[in-house]
Amino acid sequence: MKNTRWILSVVLTVLTVLTVVALARPVLAGNTVDQSASAEVKIDNFSFSPANLTVAAGTTVTWINRDDIPHVVVSSDNPRAFKSNALDTDERFSFTFTKAGTYPYFCAIHPKMTGKVIVQ
């Protein structure tokens, strides 16, 4: 009888520990893993790289100016979906794309510089 109680006690303790771990796991994962998506576009040598970027809805795209001169990232849409201030060397501009669609853009200072973000 004592062995049965001891085994039952051990089994209940193990089940309790496993239940606590199973319930805590999603909370811990949510606190340690960044769930947001992001992507980068490099501005260098008067071009956007990649020139065409495909992302999921909800993704934040960040443009980083690696040129020695300023650039302005502006959507071609009317009305404009996004427009940065003038970005000097190593400055960044970010925009979160919440809706599916195609978003062409250009540099307002150098209009031959063009790119496109495709949101699926």
pLDDT band at 1 (very low <50, low <70, confident <90, very high): low
Quote the pTM value.
Answer: 0.70
Tell me: the pLDDT tens digits for 58-116?
999 999 999 999 999 999 999 999 999 999 999 999 999 999 999 999 999 999 999 99
8-state DSSP, 84: P
Strand bridging mode 114-119 / 52-55: parallel
- Which uninterrupted H or E stretch holds 97? strand 92-97
